[in-house]
Structure 1
Amino acid sequence: MAEPTTNDWLSIAKGYFEKTQFPNTVGALDGKHIRIECPKSSGSLYYNYKHFFSLILMAICDSNYCFQIIDVGSFGKESDCNVFKTSTFGKKLYDDKLNFPPEQCLPNDELGSPQPFVLVADEAFALHKNLLRPFPDAAVIITKACCVLHNFVRRRDGFSVEDTMSSSCMESVQRRGVGNIQKNAKDVREYFVEYVNNPNHALDWQNTIIGK
């Protein structure tokens, strides 16, 4: 699997913006447990917190759910953050060697500060200038909002069995502490927060959809 070029990342960011209206996004990052039989003489290395043996798939996906970068083979006992930090592409991210495009202004914000291109991930990962994660103290509010959104979508669109998966051999990776956060990373996240909450950047179709 070839590592994306700068032009590839720009194309991925375009796809994310067209589908989600979230700018400068070059991928979604997460790790999953792949269930395996216990390798010989491995002890508890592959035994994870969900009480089965696994190796970890760490991946970045584009807006079409296609894998762009993967790291496979870490022990099941490891956490997302540790696996990412020690993976080849994780090290490249921290060393600014992933071929991300140069910083650019967000759409309709040409007079603002240029912002870096980012990966989006959950709270298992450490905040970084190129990696956005949710605010830890907003987890309850986000969960409640997702429940309300779920009900809204179901009432509007109904239920489709094709939208669900009955089973999977992939399990979420354990969450652990992620350590200190760089000040610059906090500044990037705050800028994105202000951007999406600014009335001048509201999406034209929002009120129409809400009013249906």
Structure 2
Amino acid sequence: MVTKKDKRKAAACYYYLTVKSRRRNRRTHRYWVRDWIKRRSNKTIMETLLEEREDPECYKNFLRMSAADFKYLLDKIKFAIEKQNTHMRNAIPAAERLAITLRFLATGDSYHSLMYLFRIPVCTISRIVPEVCAAIYNVLKEEYLQMPCTEEEWLQKSQQFAEKYNFPHCIGALDGKHVLIKAPKQRGSLYHNYKGTHSVVLMALADAEYKFQYINVGCFGRISDGGVFNACSLSNKLADNSLGIPTPRPLPGRTKPVPFDPLS
């Protein structure tokens, strides 16, 4: 027989479960745009510091490039990063998108830090930075990341190493760099490197003027530099001699042929 006490207990349990479910499903009110972000039109870093160009060194220190270089880069990629205004709001200008990305690349600041600096929400910055980085790479890669492909071009690179560093038959300086990342869930061991941190590996071949000729990025941090090199396309092209690298020839004052190789 069900007593009044049992009924009260059942009612209390029902009430508790109902209220808890409603609270769980209740949506927290969020701002469409925070008030201090709405006032960004004339208070952002773009409208204050970056427009006051009487100190070129400070400008260059902030974005790691001069105002002239910034304009040159903006003119190159503007078509790829510019957005159209809508009835709801004005688009963030291409110049500001580029400035946000350059500041991120120069300092590694968090998106939250950039939010307060530029008065742009984190969710928007998280889209801007990858988009602008992709645009910079896609637009400039053929002009600034060009690997030599003829014997004459490789000989010119080798001559630069011989003249500047007294190192003949060198076609480039090859090395790897661990880029720290936050370990992905359930895959952290793949990125755990010998330094005890998590990273992806950037491997690059640079000429005597510190200009990149080839890059490979994204390999797991646990893999050694040798393993990264063996897995990259540069290793395969060197092995099958498809890069137009000069045939071995004697060093100055010698008779035995010596191959042209990267310095690592």
Residue aligning to 1:142:
none
Alignment of 1:28-43 (within 5 A): 28-43=173-188
8 Å CA contact retained: 2:161, 2:168: yes
Residue aligning to 1:132:
none
Residue aligning to 1:57:
202
- The one-letter code of the counterpart of 2:187 is S
Rounded to whole Å, the distance in 1 between the matches of 2:195 and 2:252 is: 42
Rounded to whole Å, the distance in 2 between the matches of 1:75 and 1:40 is: 14
Residue 239 (structure 2) pairs with residue 118 (structure 1):
no
8 Å CA contact retained: 2:206, 2:212: yes
Q: Could you tell me the percent identity over the aligned residues?
A: 44
- The one-letter code of the counterpart of 1:75 is F
Residue aligning to 2:170:
25
Rounded to whole Å, the distance in 1 between the matches of 2:167 and 2:222 is: 33
Rounded to whole Å, the distance in 2 between the matches of 1:113 and 1:70 is: 32
SS in 2 for 1:28: strand
Residue of structure 2 aligned with 1:90, choices 225, 229, 235: 235
SS in 1 for 2:249: coil
Alignment of 1:173-188 (within 5 A): none
Cα displacement (A) at 1:58: 0.9
SS in 1 for 2:188: coil
Cα displacement (A) at 1:47: 1.2
User: For 1:4-35, what per-residue CA distance to the aligned partner results, in whole angstroms no more than 9, with x for missing partners?
Assistant: 21232111101101112221111111111011
| Larger proportion of helix | 2
Rounded to whole Å, the distance in 1 between the matches of 2:245 and 2:217 is: 22
User: For 1:108-138, what per-residue CA distance to the aligned partner results, in whole angstroms no more than 9, with x for missing partners?
Assistant: 33xx0222111112xxxxxxxxxxxxxxxxx
TM norm structure 1: 0.52
Larger radius of gyration: 2
Rounded to whole Å, the distance in 2 between the matches of 1:97 and 1:72 is: 22
- Higher RCO (CA 8 Å, separation ≥ 6 residues): 1
TM norm structure 2: 0.42
Residue 122 (structure 2) pairs with residue 2 (structure 1):
no
Structure 1: 5+ residue runs without aligned partners? 122-212
More moved, 20-29 vs 1-10? 1-10
Residue aligning to 1:79:
224
Rounded to whole Å, the distance in 2 between the matches of 1:58 and 1:99 is: 21
User: For 1:75-125, what per-residue CA distance to the aligned partner results, in whole angstroms no more than 9, with x for missing partners?
Assistant: 00000111110111112222222321122222233xx0222111112xxxx
Rounded to whole Å, the distance in 2 between the matches of 1:95 and 1:40 is: 38
Rounded to whole Å, the distance in 1 between the matches of 2:239 and 2:149 is: 17
Question: How many residue pairs get matched?
Answer: 119
Rounded to whole Å, the distance in 2 between the matches of 1:95 and 1:15 is: 25
Residue of structure 1 aligned with 2:251, choices 84, 101, 106: 106
User: For 1:51-80, what per-residue CA distance to the aligned partner results, in whole angstroms no more than 9, with x for missing partners?
Assistant: 111000111111112111111110000001
Rounded to whole Å, the distance in 2 between the matches of 1:48 and 1:113 is: 41
8 Å CA contact retained: 2:188, 2:198: no
